Structure 1
């Protein structure tokens, strides 16, 4: 647990790094800081003295503390050769393979990884970025949090840009941020998955997509795109949209799907946001007494490791996972070494399995 000294020091340092106090600004008085943090003046003096030693502050005798030009003096020298990796999740789904791919290239180049997990929340993303900025890493690989929404942490990304920290985004990026990124052509991939379902004779298709990240928004666009040449099918198809917070209790999403499956003109096929949701939906379909794919076909997205082993095996689009990790790491190293970076968009790689094709 942080001491009162740590709380004051970290709080002021974060306010400086985030731009609340800019270079040249005068800090609030000791009395104000004592009241703000509910600590003694001695604690405030120790904290500001520590920040002065780290070149975040300078003192004018008799006038107070001012923000120093801290950007010229990183708190930790980058000779440590550390790469920061910030992702929405770490230990499950496709992320271990992505991180393994990053580590393979980074470690071979003599760098270590500093890994942080945002749990797909802006607050945790902010804390992760603040820790990484103040540590003086050599570069960053970031998976954005809820990338389809306005980001309250843009000020920190602006600081990353001003500090010239080489940065690469994976899976998606934020609008108005000029960083290189690697992602899948989600629109075309989802369109091909739905076209596959239509080719199997399905006219009533239910799409289920997360809409607060760019991947989900683009996959939903792909769902629409598939019906542009099949307008008669679109009339009988439906869509469920959800947000990241809904994933804390997937029962809500599954209950909504169940409502559609219990309708007289139920969907005969489902296109799910990702394989994780598709696997859970497969269990729901079976629990209702339906057969896959004879009664209801399903497709997922990402080619999660379990997708080929479930019964029936899942039709999906392959996410490059480990390759994306290796590619992102190599692009970042190129930027660190003074070479130009570039974007990579991975084209669809559809894998047709038993969940969408009836046996002959």
Structure 2
């Protein structure tokens, strides 16, 4: 549990890092801070003295405390070589392989990982970014949060750029930032999946895509692209769109899918945003007394480890999880060394398995 001193120091430092107090701004008086935090004047003086030593503020004799030009201050952390990694999730799905790939590369160069996750919320992303800045990491590898929407933490990314912290995005990128990135060719990969379903005789295909991240937006574009190549059956297609907040239980998403499956002109195939949702959807389809793939064909995306072992095994597009991690680590090391790098876009192989390997008569 943080002490009162820690709470005051962290609160003031976060206010400075977040831009609440800009460089040159005068801070509240010790008396005001004492009242604000409900602590003694000694505690406030101790916290502000530490921040002064760390170049976050300076004092003017008889004039109060002001925010120092902390952007140009030397890092206050130890000499340890640390790479910060921020992902939307940590413990499951494709992320362990990505993180393992990063670690394999950067550990060979003497770096260790400082890992955080955002749960795909801007508030948690903000906390993660501020911790990384405070820690003084040597570089950052970040999976953007809700990357298809206007960036809520642009001020912190501007600070990262101004501080010169080498930064790489994975899986997607934010508009208006020139940080290098690595991503899958989601559009063409999804188009390949839909064209596979059409080749199997499916016309009534329901696509289910997340709309607040770039990956989902691109996969939905791939869905459109496939039907543009087959305009005669485009009228039979349908789409459900959802956002990250809907993923808390997925109940609303699955309820929407169920409504379509119970319709007289139900779809004969489903294309899900990712394998995690596809696996849940297979359970839903079975619970309705329908067979996969005989009644409903299903495809996912990402080639999650469980996709191969479930029954039926899942048709999907392969995400280069470990390779992306290794390539991101190498790209960041090149940036740290001051070398130029180029963005990477991976072609994704389509893995045809039992969940869609059935021709419609």
Place the TM-score, normalised by the shorter chain, in its bin: over 0.9
Query: What is residue 44 of structure 1 aligned with on the other side?
Result: 44
> Counterparts in 2 of 1:103-118, with a 5 A limit?
103-118=103-118
| 1:35 CA drift (Å) | 3.6
Report the 3-state secondary structure (helix = DSSP H, G, I; strand = E; otherwise coil) of the residue aligned with 2:114. strand
Deviation at 1:73, TM superposition (A): 2.3
What 5-or-longer segments of structure 2 have no aligned partner? Answer: none
Aligned residue in 1 for 2:149: 149
Alpha-carbon contact 1:85-1:115 (below 8 Å) kept: yes
Q: Are residue 342 (structure 1) and residue 342 (structure 2) matched?
A: yes
Q: Does 1:313 align with 2:313?
A: yes
Task: Map residues 168-317 of structure 1 onto 2, 5 A cutoff.
Answer: 168-317=168-317
Q: Which residue is 1:91 aligned to?
A: 91
C-alpha distance in 1, partners of 2:342/2:4?
45
Task: Identify the residue that residue 80 of structure 1 maps to in structure 2.
Answer: 80
Q: Deviations over 1:283-307 (max 9, x none)?
A: 1111111111111001000000010
Residue deviations 1:258-290 (CA, integer Å, cap 9, x gap): 110000000000000000000000011111111
- Count of aligned positions: 360
Deviation at 1:359, TM superposition (A): 7.4
Give the superposition deviation at 1:215.
Answer: 0.4
**Separation (CA, whole Å) in 2 of partners of 1:150 and 1:34:** 37
Could you tell me how far 1:26 is from its partner in structure 2?
1.2
For structure 1, the residue ranges without an aligned partner over 5 or more in a row are: none
Deviations 1:138-159 (A, max 9, x none): 1000001111111221100000
Task: Indicate conservation of the 8 Å contact 2:94/2:304, yes or no.
Answer: yes
Cα distance between partner residues in 2 of 1:13 and 1:328:
30
> Residue 324 of structure 1 aligns with which residue?
324
> Following TM superposition, by how much is the alpha carbon of 1:310 offset from its aligned partner in structure 2, in angstroms?
1.1
User: For 1:162 and 1:35, how far apart are their aligned partners in 2?
Assistant: 34
Distance 1:187 1:321, change over 3 A: same
Q: TM-score, normalised by structure 2?
A: 0.97
Contact 1:78 1:137 in 2 (8 A): no
How far residue 102 of structure 1 moved from its aligned partner, in angstroms, is 0.2
CA RMSD of aligned residues (A): 1.4
Deviations 1:59-88 (A, max 9, x none): 111110011122222343473110000001
What is the TM-score of this pair, normalised by structure 1? Answer: 0.97
| Correspondence list, 1:132-143, <5 A | 132-143=132-143
2:201–2:359 contact (8 Å) kept in structure 1: no
What whole-Å deviation, never above 9, does each CA across 1:200-241 have from its counterpart, x for those lacking one?
Answer: 110100000111111011111111111112223221111111
Deviation per residue, 1:167-218 (Å, 9 max, x gap): 0000001111110000011111111111111111101000001111110111
* Distance (Å, rounded) in 1 between the aligned partners of 2:110 and 2:48: 35
Is it true that 1:18 corresponds to 2:29 in the alignment? no
Partner of 1:351: 351
